[in-house]
Chain A
Amino acid sequence: MQPLDGEKLRNELRLWLESNWDPNASLIEWRSKLAESGWGMPTWPSQWFGKDLSLVLNPIVDEEFARINAVTVARSGIRLLAAATILEHGDDSQKSRYLRRILTGEDTWCQLFSEPGSGSDLAGAITRADFDGSQWIINGQKVWTTSAHHADYGLLLARTDWEAPKHDGLSYFVIDMRQPGVNVHPLKQMNGHASFNQVFFTDAVVAPEDQVDRIGNGWKVAMTTLMHERRSADALRSVYRDRDLEGRIYDEERDETATVMEPYKWYPQRAGRVDLVFERAIETGKIDDPVVRQAIAELMIKARTAEWTARRARAAQQQGRPQGPEGSLGKLAASHVARQASKVHTMISGSDSMLGDEDGPLAGLIAEILISVPATSIAGGTDEIQRNIIAERVLGMPKEPRMDTGPFRDVMKNPGPAAP
């Protein structure tokens, strides 16, 4: 857009990297430099570890880091969602307490929103926060919490007012995960992995200074977090790096990546592994079956149109054009791709589709696809919720009559801890 500014920025960053980048530094040492200089998160405000850089110019920064394989600030997991939320809604003391250690990777964060009784209906949360005169006392249960077992802090959505309408009775806190009132248990999934946790709160405490934004405004704050969740999917992909790079900092980063990515190792299978289809069809000879060929073509059509639709959305965004409906369709499209891929893999593997682990095709990989795909249309918002959102927000269709207005105390809910 502004080539002159872009070139100036590139030169400035190059000079800085030349005199500061050291593959033999420690991860924390290097990331501290990034945080202090503002080059770690240049789009952040300059008083908070950034450089006020416009989003349009940010790709130049990414390019320069990638060019010399320089390690970036910690970006994985929930930490950037936490940072974005604190930047937007937190007070100065919270910003100075948390942001820096988020960027250096010293602190790990988790998100405590979903509950056994409120999945799609996140605002129906019944985990409670009661003020005892000096601090907040937390009781209840959260679920589907990635990284809770090694998290230092959690982003907690809890109910502080039972008389207010559903969305108005929620508040947002930062909770110290390393305290006796917080218990974390792994949650085993139907595919045998345990990527998530259940978190139980029994008189856990939150100091008043860890209340984010005002009481009753928790839903709005949570929306900020969720908005950034969508964007962080891209960042995750960039974590992997060439294995051959030598230097202390790369060793440390590889360890970090291994830990962070462990819960996600079955995610490619969850998405259907479209990449394997052609090769498998040729290997098994099923490529000659006209029915299989039709199914494969259907899969390729779904996969490629989904990719192009995402690129249309991104292109509109990059040009600063209003995003069309294509932007909200990605998740639904991904579900269709995954389901079709699962169907095609079954056709290709035939009777061996019944077999798993070392007895199954590709040493159990195909089995893992078949038993992981059902998660695609649920995680991060079910297909049904996606359709509601598309219908109401994109197509502007009339809203469903509500059954959950009035004081939250009187709204029908799943069994859980009783209101006081």
Chain B
Amino acid sequence: MQFTFNEEQDQLRATAQKFLADKSPTVEVRRLMETHQGYDPIVWAQLSSELGFTATHIPETYGGLGLSYAELGILFEEMGRTLLCAPFLATALGATAIMNVATESEKSELLPDIATGTRIATLAVFESSGKWGTDSIELTAKNNRLNGTKRYVLDGHIANFIIVVARTTTRNETDTIGFFLVNGDAPGLKRRVVNTIDSTRKLTQLEFVDVAARRLGGNDDQSAKLAETLDLAAIGLANEMVGGAQHLVDETVNYAAERIQFGRAIGSFQAIKHKCADMLLDVEMAKSAAYYAATAAASSDPELPVLANLAKAAASEAYMRIAAECIQIHGGIGFTWDNDTHLWFKRAKSSEVFFGDPSYHKEQLVTRWQH
């Protein structure tokens, strides 16, 4: 296992940091989060067709860069640091699902447009049970027509390719899980942007009434593929979260050095210092887990499922603790709308539960360890 980043990876990070510092300052985040669309198509075009970020983990045969999940993790982290408003996580996960399940010809057809950013993709798994596991799928597919509702779908309102996970009934009447491709503008599909606490990221509810769909990757049960896809989603999000957490640690330390009370910088008080030391410990531990899991994903490590649970639980708890402490150390100003902390706090809170909250992942961690 590799425990440091190599030079190419450092370079990728530097490129991403430079781009994001320029394109995603807080003032842009605040502007875009108020829009319905939720992203800037010009910035999207630059990050995809110019910088190739959307092509990162897609194999070269399908127009990608042929890099791995480790490189993708670096991008997630940097985007999480700056709260980039863009359908990047959605599209990367859509591509991941296609790579996991689709046939060669389907991949050749779908992935090149995702790699260039001309098509936005997303993954629609979760439903109204609010469960995060593979057993939560009620939406049905019969004769390639979908009926049901998907919730918590990332950027579903702008996605061109929606990868829908559905329950299929085969001829011998046993239920199986399948992945289906639906076009964003398919007749019978109703898409609604739902109100969220984190408006830097758009979540949608998708209603399917007799919507035409294409089954991807043949007719075998794809439950295992779904579990794999969800593990990769959790790892991706964990990497995004440690980026945001690191930003808050930096902000807190800077503020504590500037803010004067009782004739001294508040950062000189041990009460504040010790909190900051704990925040650093939290973010570094979570990074170790997120990096390790992303590297494992790059090498198809058999321990991957457990690592996904571990990384997501660690990142969720670290980010949330850090966000709460960041507000606390800012004091009154930290609770105001004008101060930027709440943007990250809200991302932390919604990411904490997205793809499964810490207690879900801890339970799964022990279950998977037992087997």
Contact = CB atoms under 8 A, between A and B. Distances in A.
B292 interface: yes
B265 interface: yes
A134 interface: no
A176 B350 CA distance: 64
A387 B369 contact: no
Interface of A: 278, 287, 290, 293-294, 296-298, 300-302, 304-306, 308-309, 311-312, 314-316, 319, 321, 324-326, 329, 332-333, 336, 384, 386-388, 390-392, 394-401
Interface in B250-307: 253, 256-257, 264-265, 267-270, 272-274, 276-278, 280-281, 284-289, 291-292
B337 interface: no
Contacts of A384: 270, 274
Given A398-B264, A401-B268, A316 B4 contact: yes
Given A387-B273, A390-B281, A397-B267, A308 B256 contact: no
B359 interface: yes
Contact of B4 (A319, A336, A391, A399): A319
B365 to A, nearest CB: 5
Question: Which of A302, A306, A326, A398 neighbours the largest number of chain B CB atoms within 10 Å of its CB?
Answer: A398
A297 B280 CA distance: 22
Question: Which of B2, B276, B280, B288 neighbours the largest number of chain A CB atoms within 10 Å of its CB?
Answer: B288
Contact of A305 (B269, B273, B276, B285): B285
Interface size bucket, B side? 35 or more
B276 A391 contact: yes
A398 B272 CA distance: 11
26 contacts: A287-B366, A287-B370, A293-B362, A296-B366, A297-B366, A298-B362, A300-B365, A302-B285, A305-B288, A305-B310, A308-B291, A309-B285, A312-B291, A314-B3, A315-B3, A316-B4, A321-B4, A332-B281, A387-B277, A388-B273, A390-B281, A395-B277, A396-B253, A397-B272, A398-B268, A400-B270
B313 A297 contact: yes
Contact of A325 (B3, B273, B280): B280
A18 B149 CA distance: 74
Contacts of B277: 332, 386-388, 390-391, 395
B216 interface: no
User: What does DSSP make chain A's interface, helix, strand, loop or mixed?
Assistant: helix
Contact of B273 (A308, A314, A397): A397
Given A293-B362, A297-B363, A309-B285, A401 B280 contact: no
Contact of A390 (B280, B285, B289): B280
Given A294-B363, A297-B365, A387-B277, A400 B288 contact: no
B72 interface: no
Contacts of A287: 366, 370
Question: Which of A309, A314, A401 neighbours the largest number of chain B CB atoms within 10 Å of its CB?
Answer: A309
B156 to A, nearest CB: 32
B362 A333 contact: no
B275 to A, nearest CB: 9
Given A308-B289, A316-B4, A398 B267 contact: yes
A176 B270 CA distance: 41
A397 B280 contact: no
A326 B288 contact: yes
Given A290-B363, A397-B273, A398-B265, A312 B4 contact: yes
B124 interface: no
A408 to B, nearest CB: 23
B280 A309 contact: no
B285 A333 contact: yes
Contact of A294 (B4, B291, B362): B362
Nearest to B2: A315
Contact of A395 (B270, B276, B310, B370): B276
Contact of B310 (A304, A329, A386): A304
Contacts of B278: 387
Contacts of A391: 267, 273-274, 276-277
B268 A300 contact: no
A290 B365 CA distance: 12
Contact of B288 (A300, A308, A386, A394): A308
A398 B284 contact: no
A301 B267 contact: no
B74 to A, nearest CB: 15
Contacts of B284: 309, 324-326, 329
B316 to A, nearest CB: 11
B285 A293 contact: no
Contacts of A298: 362
B153 interface: no
A391 to B, nearest CB: 4
Question: Which of B1, B285, B292, B359 neighbours the largest number of chain A CB atoms within 10 Å of its CB?
Answer: B285
Given A390-B277, A390-B281, A398-B257, 6 more contacts: A297-B363, A314-B3, A316-B3, A326-B284, A387-B270, A391-B277
Contacts of B268: 397-401
Given A297-B362, A298-B362, A329-B280, A397 B253 contact: yes
A301 B289 contact: yes
Question: Which of A293, A329, A388, A397 neighbours the largest number of chain B CB atoms within 10 Å of its CB?
Answer: A397
Question: Which of B272, B284, B289, B362 neighbours the largest number of chain A CB atoms within 10 Å of its CB?
Answer: B284
B177 interface: no
A333 B289 CA distance: 14
B35 to A, nearest CB: 36
B314 interface: yes
B253 A308 contact: no
B201 to A, nearest CB: 25
The 5 closest A-B pairs by CB, nearest first: A297-B362, A391-B273, A315-B3, A387-B277, A308-B288
Nearest to A311: B3
Contacts of B265: 398
Contacts of A314: 3
Nearest to B306: A300
A401 B264 CA distance: 9
A293 B363 CA distance: 6
Given A309-B288, A326-B288, A397-B256, A388 B3 contact: no
